[in-house]
Chain A
Amino acid sequence: MVTVLGWLAAVAIVVGLAMGFGMAPREVTQGNVQRIMYLHVPAVWVAYLAFTVGFVASVVYLARRREAADRLAHAACEVGTVFLGVNIATGAIWGKPTWGTWWTWDARLTSVAVVFVMFLAYLLLRQAVEDRERGARYAAVLGIVAALNIPLVHFSVYWWRTLHQPPSLLKPGASTMPPIILAALLVNFGALAILGAYFIARRARVLAGEAEAMA
Chain B
Amino acid sequence: MSYARRALIVAWKDLVVERRSKETLNSLLFFSLALLFVFQFTLGPDRERLAAVLPGVLWLGFILSGVLGLGRTFLVERDNDCWEALLLAPGDKSAVYVGKLAASLALMLVVEAIVLALFTLFFNVDLWPVLPGLALVIVLGTLGIAAVGALFAAMTAQVRTRELLFPVLLLPVLVPVLLGTVKATEALLLREPLTSVAHWWQLLVAADVVYVVVGLLTFDVILEG
Interfacial residues of chain A within 150-172, with CB under 8 A of chain B in the complex: 152-153, 155-157, 159-160, 163-164
A146 engages B173 (CB within 8 Å): yes
A128 engages B159 (CB within 8 Å): yes
B203 engages A148 (CB within 8 Å): no
Q: Is the interface of B mostly helix, strand, loop or mixed?
A: helix
**B200 CB contacts on chain A under 8 angstroms:** 159
B169 engages A121 (CB within 8 Å): yes
B221 engages A141 (CB within 8 Å): yes
Interface size on A, residues (CB 8 A): 31
**Inter-chain pairs besides A128-B160, A145-B148, A160-B183, 15 sampled, C-beta below 8 Å:** A62-B221, A118-B173, A121-B168, A121-B169, A121-B172, A124-B169, A128-B165, A137-B224, A138-B222, A142-B169, A149-B210, A155-B203, A156-B180, A157-B175, A157-B176
**A163 CB contacts on chain B under 8 angstroms:** 183, 196, 199
Whether B130 is near chain A, meaning CB under 8 Å from some CB there, is no
Report the separation of the CA atoms of residues A141 and B152 in the bound assembly, to the nearest whole angstrom: 9
A124 engages B183 (CB within 8 Å): no
- Residues of B bordering A, CB below 8 Å: 148, 151-152, 155, 158-161, 165, 168-169, 172-173, 175-176, 179-180, 183, 196, 199-200, 203, 206-207, 210-211, 214, 218, 221-222, 224-225
Would you give 14 A-B contacts (Cβ < 8 Å), ordered by A? A62-B221, A121-B172, A125-B155, A130-B160, A134-B158, A141-B151, A141-B214, A141-B222, A144-B214, A148-B214, A153-B176, A156-B175, A156-B179, A159-B203
Contact of B176 among A142, A144, A152 (CB under 8 A): A152
**A208 CB contacts on chain B under 8 angstroms:** none
B175 engages A114 (CB within 8 Å): yes
Whether A117 is near chain B, meaning CB under 8 Å from some CB there, is yes
Q: Pick from B175, B196, B206, B225 the residue with the most CB of A within 10 Å.
A: B175
What 9 A-B pairs are tightest by C-beta distance, nearest first? Answer: A156-B176, A152-B176, A118-B172, A117-B172, A156-B179, A141-B218, A114-B175, A121-B168, A121-B169
- Beyond A117-B172, A124-B168, whether A160 also contacts B179 by CB under 8 A is yes
Report the separation of the CA atoms of residues A129 and B161 in the bound assembly, to the nearest whole angstrom: 9
- Beyond A142-B169, A160-B179, whether A62 also contacts B218 by CB under 8 A is yes
